[in-house]
Chains A and B, each alone.
Chain A
Amino acid sequence: MNGAFVDAIGLIAPGLASWESAVPILSGTAPYAPQPIGLIQPALLPANERRRSPLSVRIALRAAEEATSAAGADASALASVFATSDADMEIIHRICVALAGPERSVSPTDFHNSVCNAASGYWSIATGARGPSTALSAYDFNLAAGLQEALAQLSIDDTDVLLVLFDVPPPPPLYAARPVAQPAAVALLLCRQRSARTLAQLSICEATAEQTMADAGLEGLRRTNPAARALPLLQLLAQRRSGIVGIRSYDDRFLGVRVEAP
């Protein structure tokens, strides 16, 4: 019950340029060497949209397209769940600076890009996906909330679901209030049926603690971006091992993710 098959993964974070390049790092055969993510340009965004879309949207879509193209999945047929704590605080910053000024001239593009579901909207436009797509926020607990939403949708609404977690650092004045230190995005393609591509089966179970990363650099990343809370889960998937990963579902609550390798 409430299980799903992970068919593909997308990842982007400092020093983890893609899922493919992250597998040796997460499975411990290559060292983690953080470096800036550079300019991210999702291939499926038309040039015009690339210019208009904020970093949060571009990293979310980059992770999403890595997962769907690795699986050869028809992106237009997938339901999607986008989970983010703060969407894009660069935009909030610009709007708040404008509103604090005498003219109060808010950019219309900033305003429509400020919605929490901007990545969901750009994704559906870029892929022609007309199915259900949602955007949720559970602060630092997006992995637990996003997984529960995606797995419920998969089993109850009978659809394959693309789960995308992402957050980006806020600009300086907001950074002190919300220190998301690095940009990161994670995409999991969750399917109803086992296939030749299946990496593992996932299901929800109980847990009483949160798992951390042994590598100090990766642990630092995990702690400072809500999307990177998925790193212990991704590590197990990279190692092709079975096990239970404890994740935090609220300040004082935990959820287990059972991973069964094929």
Chain B
Amino acid sequence: MQPVRISAFTLTSALGRGRAAHLDALLSERTGLAPQEVETCMLSTYVGQVGGIDAPLTGELSRWDCRNNRLAQLALAQDGFRGEIEERCAKFGADRIGVFIGTSTSGVQQVELAYRHRDRTADHLPDWFLHRYTHNTFSAADFVRNALALTGPTLAISTACSSSAKVFASARRAMAAGRCDAAVVGGVDSLCLTTLYGFNSLQLVSAEPCRPADIRRNGLSIGEAAAFALLEPGAGELMLLGYGESSDAHHMSAPDPEGRGAIAAMRAALARAGLEPRQIDYINLHGTATSANDLAEDRAVRSVFGREVPQSSTKGWTGHTLGAAGIVEAALSLICIQEGILPRSLNTREKDPAIAGNVLLETRRARVERVLSNSFGFGGSNCSLVFGSAA
């Protein structure tokens, strides 16, 4: 496919605000995971929580006020991202810039709170609950559209934990089809009781910081994050080279142990990029640190790449940021390309011998030209992305 340029990007997670904080965390091996203190949650687990988003949104954006959109607002303010968008508005026109946002939670915390404060006799939710602007899945995309004053095609993609990887594919297609000239892609997911108690009900949450690929891994740590990128036609320092999407057709909440869907997604991404597996320098794994995911993914990666390609999950840093994970890990991959970093699998003390891949146990500096990043979600939704510096 014709690659598209990533001319700006930013991310905010438990590691901090903006790219410099994430680079520092990667190099100093500082995790963002800490024992959870999420409002009234009573579970014993670690989370990747973003601080400083307790103040409500104000002014014209106040109706979108919820934790998820506050997080988006904070992230949009980093790395000069808003300024880049304003420049592109002048260049392309606000109606020629699309908005493609991945989210799984959107502002579901708002409806949780509304139910806790509902009038049980009248079966009535409080008047402050604004479904469209907070709880609804589209809210995340609608908020970004309005916060950036864009009027191009706007949609939210919600395919669980592959959501904000798939936005790259949708945005690139919309640009190629002439629906828009440039696109803001993003992912926003925020901590809430639904995901904490929900993953806990499936016995997928670890009581300690998650340990991807470790022999004693026992589940994920949930995180929250927001990240955005600007896609434009043409060549540049950082490019989206390929994408691949597939379905497991296996189970709603368990990966296909054969990894057939994951294999198809990785192969499709490589084919669109016109690359051979050996041309990939680093694989950012989905690597949730659940027993089943890490084994199935390893099997799939092995069948596409063999055992050599350096690889790691960065969820030991950020936690599993669910609907934001695709673009958070895309952004970390872009930082690895810019800075020449092969990041280790943080918290992995003893690699599971059943995992054959070259999981990095130490961070190294090396030339990184091309990265493949995996994102897999409930419902068997898979997406692989290939990023690279210009050839």
A-side interface residues toward B, CB under 8 Å? Answer: 1-2, 76, 85-87, 92, 95-100, 104-108, 111-118, 120-122, 124-125, 127-139, 145, 148-149, 151-153, 155-157, 172-174, 176-178, 204, 249-250, 253
Please give me the residue from chain B that is nearest to A126 by CB atom. Answer: B249
Chain B residues, CB < 8 A from A114: 194, 198
Of the listed stretches B71-79, B109-117, B350-358, chain A binds B109-117
List residues of B whose CB falls within 8 A of some A CB. 42, 104, 108, 111-112, 114-116, 118, 123-125, 129-132, 135-138, 141-142, 151, 153-160, 166, 169-170, 172-174, 176-179, 193-194, 197-202, 245-253, 260-261, 264, 377-381
Q: Give Cα A98–Cα B135 distance, bound, in whole angstroms.
A: 17
19 more CB-based (< 8 A) A-B contacts, given A120-B247, A134-B159, A134-B381: A99-B115, A106-B200, A108-B253, A112-B253, A115-B104, A116-B159, A121-B378, A124-B379, A130-B248, A133-B381, A134-B245, A137-B137, A137-B138, A157-B173, A173-B115, A173-B118, A173-B123, A178-B131, A204-B179
A157 surroundings in chain B (CB, below 8 A)? 173
Name the distance in Å between B325's Cβ and chain A's nearest Cβ.
Answer: 14
Which of these, B129, B142, B247, B252, contacts A130 with CB under 8 Å?
A: B247
The B interface, classified by DSSP as helix, strand, loop or mixed, is mixed
Q: Which 3 A-B pairs have the closest CB atoms?
A: A121-B379, A116-B158, A111-B198
* Known A-B contacts A86-B137, A135-B158, A250-B154; A117 and B381 likewise in contact (beta carbons under 8 Å): yes
Which residues of the other chain, A, contact B42 by a CB distance below 8 angstroms? 104
Known: A106-B201, A136-B156. A117 touches B136 (CB 8 A): no
Find chain A residues with CB under 8 A from B155 CB. Answer: 136-138, 145, 149
Q: Cβ of B179: which chain A residues have Cβ within 8 Å of it?
A: 148, 152, 204
Task: Give the residue of A121, A156, A178 whose beta carbon is less than 8 angstroms from that of B176.
Answer: A156
Chain A residues near B246: list those with CB within 8 A.
130-132
> In the bound complex, do residue A108 and residue B201 qualify as a contact, i.e. CB atoms below 8 Å apart?
yes
A249 to B159, CA, bound (A): 22
Give B323 Cβ to nearest chain A Cβ, in Å. Answer: 9
